[in-house]
Structure 1
Amino acid sequence: MSGAGGGGGFGAPTGTCETLVIDTQLSSPKPDVVATIEVGELLGVRIETAGPTITVVVTKDGQIAGGLAVPLLQRLRQCIEDGTQYTARVTAKKDGLVRVRVSAIRL
């Protein structure tokens, strides 16, 4: 096992980065990218920095489809920074709204 508990937060999950799963809807979806997304498709997940703001975004073919705004966002961001890679599977799409399930890529 690895990891130290530096700076714990309220309700910090006890699972590993590899077992972290988040079901959510994309925030601020980009209509031009969302129009090309299909249910069941696997999308990328990465950290995006714009000035002092750091966000986690979902991408298709390198283009941002939307962001993630979830209670576990800080945990997800830390896991990505620590080297865990994630994918977002599209679970539903209706009228420009996209639901995804974010989970670690099994290598």
Structure 2
Amino acid sequence: MIANYHDLWHMEQSFRMSKTDLAARPMFHHTKDAIEAHLTIVFTALAVTREVQALTKLAIRNVLRQLRPLRSATLAINDATQTFPPQIDPDRQAIIDTLTKGELRH
């Protein structure tokens, strides 16, 4: 019981993260299916967030701040389509590589 109490901070951190970083706001759903769908999405986002933090050793806010500006552009002119990938600096590429090649926890 004492060991579980010491791990309580993980739950508290997850709750705070769901409210702030994941923007899981109050539900305004009225049907059981809509409520369950909302909770499934929030808990899935929380699980993905925890995995990203575990792999990168960075706070999710930091990861989002660094990766959010990376955008590609696709231009279609007449019958030609060209995609321009973002220029990625080495620090951001390291985060992407970590997430791409990281071992998922079970």
> Smaller-chain TM-score range?
under 0.3
Q: Which has the higher strand share?
A: 1
* Higher RCO (CA-CA < 8 Å; seq separation 6+): 1
Q: How does the TM-score come out when normalised to structure 1?
A: 0.24
Q: How does the TM-score come out when normalised to structure 2?
A: 0.24
Q: Which has the higher helix share?
A: 2
